[in-house]
Structure 1
């Protein structure tokens, strides 16, 4: 791993199990546990040799964590120039620039750089919150785009993923459980059939606060499987053994 050469306001956050460090600036946006769990959850096509695209990559966390368990090309698509530049530096920092690249683009306009129907796996940690007249949005542009559906919404995201993917290609996403009806509707209407979901709970006695979703382009309708839950924290606010293994255990492998 090369030297980080951090700029003002930046810090280095790492995922020990994957031996990956990501350059971040908390004043712009920082990844959290949802990014780690999405990268861990994703089960790629072609035993990891296929092409992967991370849509709305931010500083590149999801794509970089995922890249260490596959051998194929990974493309990180990010609309915000500052975040795309940080992602580029993180790619070089982790010495992955031989097969991981950053594309600074609106994901809906990326098709001149990524051929439609050429991608095996699409990953996305999208903005969770709809924009309504009563919605309170963060005034910081970086956080606004990352958290609210101002640049992309679920139907447009589903259409973009469908257009990128090959038939039987896989789409993986992390979102909020309260949006599950919207997620199913958006994906199914655009040829992405949900096959697996996994709920994430902050603590065992609380409602789920995340949901991980796998869908297949032109997959057979029905047959959705709900995987065993992930519990993030113990009653004492420590990581559970389950999450500790993901964060600090052995490098992830394709099962």
Structure 2
């Protein structure tokens, strides 16, 4: 791998199981376990030769972690220039420039660059928190945009994913369980039929704090599968064997 020149405040974090490294700056934005679990949860259709689009890619973690599983092109879309620039350097670091392109753009404005109906797979780790009169946003503008629905909300995200996908293409998203009703409603109105749901728990005996969702464009209604849960941490705050395998085990199956 090519060693990059890091800017002030930056570091390189990696996912050993996928042999992928990501440049990030904790003062701007850092990926967390939700990005890893989303990339692991997403299935690969056929030989994985179709187009994959990562919406709201940030530093590119989800799309880059998914990249070793597929052979097709991947496009990482993020509105923030600083994060897109970091993602581009991570693409170079992992020697994936032949397959992975970074697009710095509002995701609602990408259809001059990405043809509607061309994506086999869409991935997204979007902002979790809706805006309302009582919303308290983060003081840091990078985290504020990453965590709050400032530039796009759930219905808007579902609309973009629907427009990108081929018929029977798949949309994978990680979100908060307390938004599950909103997710089902937004997806159903845009012909994204939810087919798999997996809950993630910080620790056993606690409420779920993440939900992973798979939906198919123009799929048949019904037939939702609730997958076995993921528990992230033990009582002693170590990763569980299940999560250790995802992070440090063999490369994920294709």
Partner Cα separation in structure 1 for residue 203 and residue 177 of structure 2: 15
Q: Residue 186 of structure 1: SS of its match in structure 2?
A: helix
Aligned residues: 254
Q: Residue 127 of structure 1: SS of its match in structure 2?
A: coil
Aligned to 1:30: 30
Alignment deviations for residues 202-224 of structure 1 (CA, whole Å, 9 cap, x no partner): 01110000000000000000010
CA contact (8 A) 1:159 1:190 kept: yes
Partner Cα separation in structure 1 for residue 232 and residue 102 of structure 2: 30
Aligned to 2:132: 132
Partner Cα separation in structure 1 for residue 203 and residue 59 of structure 2: 28
Partner Cα separation in structure 2 for residue 44 and residue 21 of structure 1: 21
Partner Cα separation in structure 2 for residue 158 and residue 114 of structure 1: 16
Aligned to 2:181: 181
Aligned to 1:104: 104
Aligned to 2:250: 250
Aligned to 2:168: 168
CA contact (8 A) 1:17 1:252 kept: yes
Aligned to 1:218: 218
Aligned to 2:47: 47
Aligned to 1:232: 232
CA contact (8 A) 2:44 2:69 kept: no
1:48 shift after superposition: 1.2
> How does the TM-score come out when normalised to structure 2?
0.99
CA contact (8 A) 1:34 1:174 kept: yes
Which residues of 2 match residues 57-206 of structure 1 at below 5 A?
Answer: 57-206=57-206
CA contact (8 A) 1:60 1:76 kept: yes
1:172 shift after superposition: 0.0
CA contact (8 A) 1:44 1:170 kept: no
CA contact (8 A) 1:22 1:90 kept: yes
1:6 aligned onto 2:6? yes
Q: Residue 111 of structure 1: SS of its match in structure 2?
A: coil
Partner Cα separation in structure 1 for residue 45 and residue 187 of structure 2: 19
Partner Cα separation in structure 2 for residue 44 and residue 251 of structure 1: 14
CA contact (8 A) 2:50 2:72 kept: yes
1:26 shift after superposition: 0.7
1:163 shift after superposition: 0.2
1:5 shift after superposition: 1.3
Q: Residue 126 of structure 1: SS of its match in structure 2?
A: coil
Aligned to 1:17: 17
1:44 shift after superposition: 2.3
| Unpaired segments ≥5 residues, structure 2 | none
CA contact (8 A) 2:53 2:119 kept: yes
CA contact (8 A) 2:52 2:74 kept: yes
Partner Cα separation in structure 2 for residue 156 and residue 86 of structure 1: 26
Alignment deviations for residues 72-100 of structure 1 (CA, whole Å, 9 cap, x no partner): 11000010000000000000000000100
